[in-house]
Amino acid sequence: MNYIGSKHKLSSWLLKSINEVCGTDLSSLVFCDLFAGTGSVGRSFKPLVKSVIANDLEFYSYVLNRNYIGNNQELNASAYVEELESLKPIEGFIYNTYSEGGASGRLYFSAQNGRKIDAIRSQIEVWFSKSEIDEDLYYFLLASLLESADKVANTASVYGAYLKKLKKSAQNPLKLKPADFEITSGNHSVYNQNSNELIKDISGDILYLDPPYNARQYGANYHVLNTIAKKDTFVPKGKTGLRTYKKSAFCSKNQVADAFEELIKQADFTTIFLSYNNEGLMPAETVKSIMKQYGKYDLFETSYQRFKADKTENRNHKATGTTEYLHILEK
């Protein structure tokens, strides 16, 4: 998934850096990905550690992580995926509120994809409510739907706005692609909580922090994914059909330093890594002065080519250079 702040492309640098500090054998360690997003970091550590704890404030992210991290046993999913693929389309909330031809005139999805999302989402809920599928399969199917719907979304990259005309990839019919996960010998857990609450209840060896860097709230930028995941109804607001969303202290210039300090103070982990970049709300000096109060501090950095989506098409990206920091605290 194309996600703001995704660490997918930085995962080998992160692993190399964490290996440098914690050693190359991580097999007896508990690794926590407290701001997990797409789950890309937790997924790369899942086969290497004893246990992953994944968490995010957003429900769509919980769904992805509950599948990619939480699922750890083989599922017999193919017959269900096939049945979902062949359902008769229906005109439900996603079609009416966010799709071409729907009552609202919003253009997040083509008409046929909006109807298909509604049909698939309803059927998953029917199976789950009748206990025909268990929780593991439920989240596997939901994660597969979120990933597949995101591929055909008619946006420049996030759901803060839709494009005026259906772009090429949004005209493709949605294909339900199974969201395959890795089976490991470890035991993993997944949460959907505010980081600063959850931190009081967990402990472990490596705490990886990748909070938002700037004022862009994830709940606003990915609201359509939350609506597909939750399958609730509400009165959509404004041109983009926004739902009410949670606001993160890490996206607020006035609150971020206090929230960060509280998190570091509460953390019962041996080593803490913070990903942040040089364009973030907290200058590197502020991060350093907070972390230094709680133990031995170090800093790694790398330059990173970030890609900005073009306004009309997801192609033709413009590259911008940033410095990616990995702040380290041995507590």
Ligand X SMILES: C[S@@+](CC[C@H](N)C(=O)[O-])C[C@H]1O[C@@H](n2cnc3c(N)ncnc32)[C@H](O)[C@@H]1O
Task: Select from 113, 248, 271, 314 the one that contacts ligand X (CB under 6 A).
Answer: 248
Instruction: Count CB neighbours of 255 within 10 A.
Output: 14
Q: How far apart are CA 108 and CA 110, in angstroms?
A: 7
Task: Select from 218, 273, 276, 325 the one that contacts ligand X (CB under 6 A).
Answer: 218
Instruction: Count CB neighbours of 232 within 10 A.
Output: 9
Query: At its nearest, how many Å lie between ligand X and the CB of residue 25?
Result: 24
Which two tokens mark 249? 């202290």
**CB-wise, 118 or 210, nearer to ligand X?**
210
**Helix (H) / strand (E) containing 43:** helix 40-45
Closest CA to 217 of 228, 226, 208: 226
Q: How far is CA 43 from CA 7, 33, 64, 152, 273, in A?
A: 11, 10, 11, 24, 17
Q: Per-residue string for binding with ligand X, 130-159, x by CB under 6 A?
A: ------------------------------
Closest CA to 32 of 330, 274, 218: 274
**CB-wise, 44 or 144, nearer to ligand X?**
44
Q: Per-residue string for binding with ligand X, 29-58, x by CB under 6 A?
A: ------x-xx-xx-------------xxxx
Task: Select from 92, 102, 211, 241 the one that contacts ligand X (CB under 6 A).
Answer: 211
**Helix (H) / strand (E) containing 262:** helix 256-266
Task: Select from 97, 154, 195, 227 the one that contacts ligand X (CB under 6 A).
Answer: 195
**CB-wise, 58 or 324, nearer to ligand X?**
58
Cβ neighbours of residue 257 closer than 8 Å, sequence gap 6 or more: 282, 286, 290
Query: At its nearest, how many Å lie between ligand X and the CB of residue 228?
Result: 16
Residue 3 interacts with ligand X (CB under 6 A): yes or no? yes
**CB-wise, 6 or 270, nearer to ligand X?**
6
**CB-wise, 186 or 211, nearer to ligand X?**
211
**CB-wise, 100 or 210, nearer to ligand X?**
210
Q: How far apart are CA 243 and CA 222, in angstroms?
A: 10
Within 13 A of 86's CA, how many CA atoms are on the CB side?
Answer: 5
Query: At its nearest, how many Å lie between ligand X and the CB of residue 43?
Result: 9
**CB-wise, 138 or 208, nearer to ligand X?**
208
Query: At its nearest, how many Å lie between ligand X and the CB of residue 115?
Result: 29
Task: Classify residue 208 by its DSSP letter.
Answer: E
**CB-wise, 51 or 65, nearer to ligand X?**
65
Query: At its nearest, how many Å lie between ligand X and the CB of residue 133?
Result: 26
**CB-wise, 26 or 198, nearer to ligand X?**
198
| Nearest-5° Cα angle at 16, 15 to 17 | 90
Q: How far apart are CA 120 and CA 85, in angstroms?
A: 8
Q: Per-residue string for binding with ligand X, 54-83, x by CB under 6 A?
A: -xxxx--x----------------------
**Helix (H) / strand (E) containing 330:** strand 318-330
Task: Select from 80, 127, 138, 250 the one that contacts ligand X (CB under 6 A).
Answer: 250
What's 57-86 look like in SS3? CCHHHHHHHHHHHHCCCCCCCHHHHHHHHC
Size of the site for ligand X (CB under 6 A): 23
Binding site for ligand X (CB under 6 A): 3, 5-8, 35, 37-38, 40-41, 55-58, 61, 194-195, 210-212, 218, 248, 250
